[in-house]
A and B are shown apart, each in its own frame.
Chain A
């Protein structure tokens, strides 16, 4: 036991179940569309989705490679044979009277997630299992009405339920874990990971105990769909349970929900109402078999994962916040990583900063897309070396950067076109310098009298006269030699 976790003498333990909606075109067992976001109620349904007699589930094979990818991202084992079971309960949004899920033999098991904490340590979370299952529909209980409405568009949507071990002990660790899980699913490209639309939903199991070797009675708060609500639920539950125990009141094993308006959890269902789900293997669906070869083929094409990327980006000398921002967006990260792999550190650093600054701003304004940026990586590299060689000023570089992304154009050609190339030719610059010095007798005097900071003013005047194209270093050097200081 680590003493740092103890709160008021109690040791909290937390495990998380996460439902990830897989990005298939159609449902898990029926050939109808999967994207219910903008669909009118009950328009994405088939005879199976509404539980008509005589209908049979046929597995959407597209979930198999997606599951393998998720399993690899979770550093887990992929089951050679897994199968579906039926989980029985009656509810209006469950048209078959059972949910098709994997109970006995999940497709993924024994994985791990290393999640980075703000203090640069990491929490090691075991993944017990991840199984495929069909989502239920949505029930709607209009306020004050004597009826309920059911929308079955979501019924049958493929989910991967990822079950962690009870390996976290405070809200910060849980937050780090769910965020890392989010990144892993995003990088493995198995889900749209749109939390707002419920693409990832978290159930959080919290218990506290005086004896760190014994788990306390747990509560399970279900259906959280933001990192913030997960974090708050953990804090709230730890506090609530400790307060109960301090008053010698028992903790009830129950299912709870999170009320975002009141910022508290509330009881939904206690263990006494728990179902006997009567699981048994679904006889309509043959088992899923996966060979080592299938896994190997997918493993070959797995993208680099967040933790490895972080290590690479730290090598560029970027600060933690910049690294985190880069890793949060796989498109952005891919561009920087690509440059890093093919070019020197300085170039990669320059381009990383452009990506984090000017380019992010423009992408957020929908002026350009990361795809367009990715298309002109060689130009970005060229532009970075133009800056390095002082061919353009950093101000001019920003203007060139956007233009070269927008128009897919060579930056040198653009610089000529826009007349942005720096003038470093001394014979050309000396004329402008002489002209400016003759117009600024007071400043010249000041410098000569030892007020060297006035040189900066003169450089500025020269820059202005050259319409920004003069190389400031050369200008300074020329001024100094002209004035003999």
Chain B
């Protein structure tokens, strides 16, 4: 299990010379090797990481100023383009694709001195909640190897819990960072939509895709967010960041108005999860927060809305993988149509194809109004309900997932059951608000509590999550 110091402490030690970037990177690489049976990692960037660490150590020796994440190793989900490394999104169709440019957030982390040591496994193209949809292999839960780590950022969650790096980047489109955090036992955060750039991340669904941060505590999430947040001229959906330092998150729970979402505490939620969340509610109360039960009547529709809007965008975003420019291309095709059909049939896995078909269907002429348009109408209604409720409470809480981590293979044959594991998280994604999953307990299979805040209240959200960790 992870035994890293706080990220800001690590960076301070590197800056002051009391430890070296190289020793931190070596510790990462050694843990990656030690836990390789968990299959969290698709590719290790050993050579480039060691090279960068040595360069950084030399700069420090020369008395040069280095960044606030100096020497801190991290792992990126394999849907991030990292310059010169293979980026597959765990899909066969992108196997062998080497990134000729890199994502904005990787660029910002590197500029601050952080070092990418490996690329983590995921459900191919981030489609799924268990990593079982990876075209390569399934990652194992860090607490129980017979169970899934959650997904799609399952590789990132497992790697963080097992101490392969102090933090990992995930992505979160409908809960892909929060749900694996809940299943694996770490913190998983999705920001306000647009707070961090999507440039250089393999797109899943453009209107809900966000960067996700997975770490062992909320303070580390905040430290990393401080470096990555803010507008990017390469992503026109990015928003202005707060002028405040996101990393300074000291707060008290006293007097905070917290709404427990009624619709998330009923049928379909495992007893173990309900108990855990109720315990957390008591923790909040004991620390002086005012917890009230609140209702979001349209929230139960959010899963249906999500599985219309998101496949629609997926079907469109995956159009570029046509076997003509890069990635897998079927050999011996007799003409261009044949090449498209074969390359995509073989290159895409089952789940990607399922979502392409659903998305294509809901966007087809004659069905567009009945599905896509109607779903967007409900989405607007959902946004209004969240806005209303946030005039009454500061934060919303509930379970991150309806269950604890399930067994590998348990839901693999039942896509609907798999989709249900997103039921708690898709609301925040559709509405574009920040949300975080924090472990509620330290023993047994992990259960995460999800805390949500209004748009742009990311700092307040992290502060409350951090205060909860301390009170827990």
Contact = CB atoms under 8 A, between A and B. Distances in A.
Contacts of B363: 88, 278-280
A59 B320 contact: no
Interface residues of B, number: 43
A56 B235 contact: yes
A53 interface: yes
A52 B200 CA distance: 9
Given A53-B94, A56-B234, A284-B206, A278 B324 contact: no
B357 interface: no
Contacts of B320: 51, 53, 95-97
Interface in B11-57: none
A123 to B, nearest CB: 34
Nearest to B339: A92
A47 interface: yes
Contact of A58 (B235, B319, B321): B235
Given A52-B100, A54-B199, A95 B325 contact: yes
Given A280-B316, A280-B363, A53 B81 contact: yes
Judged by DSSP, the binding face of B is loop
A178 B80 CA distance: 48
Contacts of A342: none
A457 interface: no
Nearest to B80: A54
A94 to B, nearest CB: 9
Nearest to A93: B324
A484 interface: no
A96 B236 CA distance: 18
A52 B319 contact: no
Interface secondary structure of A, over-half rule: loop
Nearest to A55: B199
Contact of B360 (A59, A278, A286): A278
B170 to A, nearest CB: 15
A285 interface: yes
B89 A56 contact: no
A56 B209 CA distance: 12
A276 interface: yes
B100 A47 contact: yes
A58 B340 contact: no
A58 B104 CA distance: 14
B364 interface: yes
B221 interface: no
B368 interface: yes
Interface string A50-94: 111111111100000000000000000000000000101010100
Contact of A90 (B201, B340, B360): B340
Contact of A53 (B89, B207, B312, B372): B89
B77 interface: no
Interface in B163-217: 198-203, 205-207
Nearest to A48: B234
A441 interface: no
A98 interface: yes
B336 interface: yes
| Closest A-B pairs by Cβ, 5 of them | A97-B319, A278-B363, A283-B206, A283-B207, A51-B320
Given A58-B233, A285-B236, 12 more contacts: A52-B100, A53-B97, A53-B320, A54-B80, A54-B87, A56-B237, A95-B325, A96-B319, A278-B364, A280-B368, A283-B205, A283-B207
